[in-house]
Structures are given as structure tokens and as C-alpha cells.
């Protein structure tokens, strides 16, 4: 299957309208309007994403068809409140449905899950930090099919800076690396240093009107090839004052900054579920289901997956607790998120090891999906500062602090 070029926002909107059908009595198309609806939509779409994954898995590729399907299913808008045409996954009480949506998308295609998690992250940040007018504007653009993301990583020697212009605008210099979705994101949310040491500023770049220069040679990875995580040079691009989101240094406020790790961990767990499913299908196809050693390995894999699902539930319940954003609560929320991401990493690595033993060399040959799943999950598990994350948990418990000190979540939260 040929990889289609980037679908423009106008074409995305037409695709959404055609797939959604008539409006459901509101001003918005029939997108998922509840957390449960969002979960169901993501679960339905996952098998289709899996079918599309191999075609986009090339260097420089991007799962354009999959994102058109996400837009048509209304899944680009689910992190918005219902009043803005979303499914309400922005609410702390809806953290578990949010993580399950990400888990389903990761099960379908980890490359899609990586970019989609960034899209939801950007929308959540805009709602937390933006003005009411900005929130309304970008919510409308998400419903229309614009793809958001967060670009934060950079080489310190060529980092992004904002230069003040006399007319109240800003000119950019510098570049971001690992800019996932580059060339396809129309609304990346980016960090840059303000003049005179005034801190780090978040801003939205209208990349369809002011595209950055892309170095595609930067992205020659082991896995996650279809995320288009290029180097993006922003030199000479200009911003308006209303492109800035929130006050300086707001992006790094806790618990949102480190606590958001539970979202990428949910995507990773979805990838591990795909590894499990394909392992089971492979053994069934070979008629090896009676082999006692294969049964033992599948039992271990099932045990570890269930452990991962319990970590997802625990992280969601913790994020929904009253006081989770107070200074004491933020520290506990970050420590729990660090435990969860560490546990999910271990679970995924062990699942890959067990799957390799189950399928052997034959199963790791294309066109079997294991080769791609193995590369993608191995690469995606390499998240920043894993040792520091676990050390922070150790510091937290050595200081005599307890996760149970926070109040319990409201009745019915994360059900």
C-alpha cells in the first residue's frame, strides 16, 4: 500500500464529516461524547490500525491513513470537555478511560500511539495553561482535524530561543530534535528560551502556515520509523503574542510534567498486548498450543500483562485523588507515576523476551509482525531518565512518605 501524502486540515475536516454522519442534536458531529464512548471507539479502531502499520513502517514514512481514521472517529477531540465537542477525557476523574484509549491505540500501532499521545498531551496543556480564547480556538482546530504535539527535546548548543521584535511579535532561532510528526503536525506545542533569562516559554507554531525546515536524515532509528521524528529547524519563523501559551516555565510544573509519564506507559502496555496476541496467534497457527513449555510462557505473559493493567488502574486512581496537585500531592503523584513507568518498562521487556522464545527465529522473519513490534516497542521503551525516575521513588519512600496519605478518589471515579 502506498503511503499517502499529508492530508490537509480541510481534507481532514471533510473526512470527519463524512464518517461521523449527521449531527447528534448538537453543534458538533457525532463524535464520542463520553469517556466510555471514547474507550469503545479506540478499541474498535485498534485492529484497523494494526492492519495499516506495516505499510507505513519505512524511514521517512508516517501513518497518514491511520490519523485520517482517528480524525474520522472523533478521537482527535476526546481530550476536550464535552462542552467543546470532546469526550471529557481532560477531567482527572476520567484518567482511566484516557489511559485505556491510549492503550488501545498502542495495541494497534505504537508509532500512531506515540504521536497520538503527544497530540492529547498538547491539548491537555493548552487547556491547563491557555486563555479561554486560546482553549476555544485550538479545540475547534482539533475537531477540524489539526494534529497537535509537543516538541521539547533539543541539543543545548542549538536550542530554541525567542527574540523580541519591536511590533510585539517574536522571531525564533534554534532547532528541536526528536520532533515527532514533523511535516504532519500542524500545531506543535514547543518550548523555547525567552530573552534575558526570563525562563522557558510554551508556544504553538502554526506549522501549516510557517513550516520549519526539516532534517529527515536525523531520524534513522531502530524502531518507531513511522513517527517522522525529524530535526526541526525553526530559524527565522515568527510568532504572534497570542501564540504563546501560559506564563514562563509553566510547562515544567509538577505533577503534570513528570506525572504525564503514565500516558506513554499506557501506550507501551498496548504494544505489549499486541506482542501477546500475535504470539498466541502464531502458536495456534503452528498447532503448538499443547506444548507445556509454550503454555508456561503464555501463562507468564498473561500474568505480566494483568500486572500492567493493574498498574494502569492504580496510576489512574492516584491521579484522580483530591489534592493530587497540591505540593504534597504533586510529589506523591510524580513518585507513583515513576513507579508505574518503571514497572511497565520491566513488564514489556519481559514480554518481549518470552515472545522471542515462543516464536523462535521463524517468527522474527517478515512478513510476521514480530520484527516490527519488537523494534518499535524496544525503541519506545527508551524514555528519558529511567534511573533518575526510580531513584526519585527511593527518595520518596526513604523520607518516610506514603502514597496512602492522600485522600481517596471520589466515588465512581475512573470506573
Strands 200-204 and 148-151: unpaired
- Say if residues 245 and 203 touch (Cβ distance below 8 Å): yes
Cβ atoms 189, 151 nearer than 8 A? yes
pLDDT at 321: 86
pLDDT at site 363: 84
Q: How many CA atoms lie within 13 A of 211 on its CB side?
A: 9
User: What 3-state DSSP class applies to 151?
Assistant: strand
CB atoms within 10 A of CB 222: 11
Beta bridge partners of 188: 149
Domain 9-147 has CATH 1.25.40.80: no
Class of the domain covering 256-405: mainly alpha
Distance CA 141, CA 138 (A): 5
Cα–Cα distance, 138 to 172 (Å, whole number) = 22
Does the model's pTM come out above 0.85? yes
| DSSP H helices in 290-385 | 292-319, 327-363, 370-380
Q: How many CB atoms lie within 10 A of CB 350?
A: 16
Q: Taking the domains of the chain in order of start, what are their residue ranges?
A: 9-147, 156-251, 256-405
**Residue 5, pLDDT score:** 37
Q: How many CB atoms lie within 10 A of CB 282?
A: 19
- Residue 407: predicted pLDDT: 59
The pLDDT value recorded for residue 405 is: 64
- Residue ranges with strand state E in 194-322: 200-204, 213-215, 230-233, 238-239, 244-245
Beta carbons within 8 Å of 75's beta carbon, 6+ residues apart = 32, 38, 41, 42, 45, 101, 105, 116
Name the 3-class secondary structure at 247: coil
**Positions in the chain whose pLDDT score sits under 70:** 1-29, 404-415
Identify the three-state secondary structure at position 89: coil
The pLDDT of residue 412? 55
- Mean of all residue pLDDT scores within the chain: 90
Distance from C-alpha of 274 to C-alpha of 75, rounded to nearest angstrom: 20
> Do residues 276 and 303 lie in contact, with contact meaning Cβ atoms separated by under 8 Å?
no
C-alpha cell at 229: 521524528
From CA 157, how far away is CA 176, in angstroms rounded?
11
Confidence (pLDDT) at 329: 84
251, 254, 260, 265: CA torsion to nearest 10: 130
- Chain position carrying cell 526519585: 392
Residue 196, helix vs strand vs coil: helix
* Burial environment of residue 310 by CB neighbours within 10 A (0 to 12, 13 to 18, 19 or more): exposed
Architecture of the domain defined by 156-251 = Beta Barrel (2.40)
Amino acid at each position: 500500500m502506498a503511503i499517502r501524502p499529508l492530508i490537509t486540515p480541510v481534507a481532514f475536516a471533510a473526512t470527519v464529516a463524512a464518517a461521523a454522519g449527521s449531527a447528534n442534536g448538537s453543534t458538533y458531529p457525532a463524535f464520542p461524547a463520553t469517556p466510555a464512548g471514547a474507550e469503545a471507539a479506540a478499541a474498535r479502531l485498534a485492529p484497523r490500525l494494526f492492519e495499516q502499520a506495516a505499510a507505513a513502517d519505512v524511514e521517512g514514512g508516517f501513518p497518514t491513513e491511520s490519523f485520517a481514521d482517528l480524525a474520522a472517529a472523533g478521537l482527535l477531540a476526546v481530550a476536550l470537555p464535552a462542552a467543546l465537542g470532546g469526550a471529557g477525557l481532560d477531567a482527572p476523574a476520567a484518567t482511566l478511560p484516557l489511559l485505556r484509549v491510549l492503550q488501545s491505540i498502542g495495541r494497534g500501532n505504537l508509532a500512531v500511539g506515540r504521536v497520538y499521545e503527544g497530540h492529547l498531551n498538547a491539548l491537555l496543556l493548552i487547556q491547563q495553561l491557555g486563555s479561554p480564547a486560546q482553549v476555544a480556538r485550538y479545540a475547534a482546530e482539533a475537531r477540524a482535524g489539526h494534529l497537535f504535539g509537543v516538541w521539547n527535546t533539543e541539543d543545548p548548543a542549538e536550542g530554541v530561543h525567542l527574540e523580541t521584535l519591536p511590533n510585539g511579535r517574536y522571531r525564533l532561532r534554534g532547532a528541536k530534535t526528536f520532533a515527532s510528526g514533523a511535516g504532519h503536525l500542524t500545531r506543535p506545542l514547543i518550548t523555547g528560551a525567552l530573552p534575558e533569562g526570563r525562563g522557558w516559554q510554551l508556544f504553538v507554531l502554526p506549522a501549516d502556515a510557517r513550516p520549519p525546515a526539516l532534517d529527515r536524515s536525523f531520524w534513522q532509528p531502530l524502531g518507531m520509523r513511522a513517527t517522522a521524528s525529524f530535526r526541526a529547524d525553526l530559524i527565522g519563523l515568527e510568532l504572534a503574542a497570542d501564540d504563546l501559551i501560559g506564563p514562563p516555565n509553566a510547562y515544567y510544573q509538577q505533577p503534570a510534567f513528570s506525572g504525564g509519564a503514565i500516558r506513554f506507559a499506557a501506550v507501551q502496555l498496548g504494544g505489549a498486548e499486541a506482542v501477546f496476541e500475535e504470539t498466541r496467534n502464531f502458536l495456534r497457527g503452528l498447532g503448538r498450543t499443547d506444548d507445556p513449555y509454550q503454555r508456561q510462557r503464555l501463562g507468564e505473559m498473561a500474568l505480566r500483562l494483568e500486572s500492567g493493567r493493574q498498574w494502569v488502574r492504580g496510576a489512574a486512581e492516584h491521579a484522580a485523588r483530591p489534592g493530587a496537585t497540591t505540593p504534597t500531592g504533586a510529589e506523591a503523584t510524580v513518585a507513583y507515576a515513576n513507579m508505574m513507568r518503571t514497572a511497565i518498562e520491566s513488564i514489556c521487556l519481559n514480554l518481549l523476551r518470552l515472545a522471542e522464545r515462543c516464536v523462535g527465529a521463524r517468527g522474527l522473519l517478515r512478513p510476521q509482525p514480530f520484527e516490527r513490534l519488537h523494534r518499535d516497542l524496544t525503541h519506545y521503551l527508551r524514555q528519558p531518565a529511567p534511573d533518575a525516575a526510580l531513584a526519585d521513588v527511593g527518595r520518596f519512600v526513604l523520607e518516610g512518605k506514603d502514597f496512602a496519605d492522600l485522600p481517596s478518589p471520589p466515588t465512581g471515579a475512573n470506573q
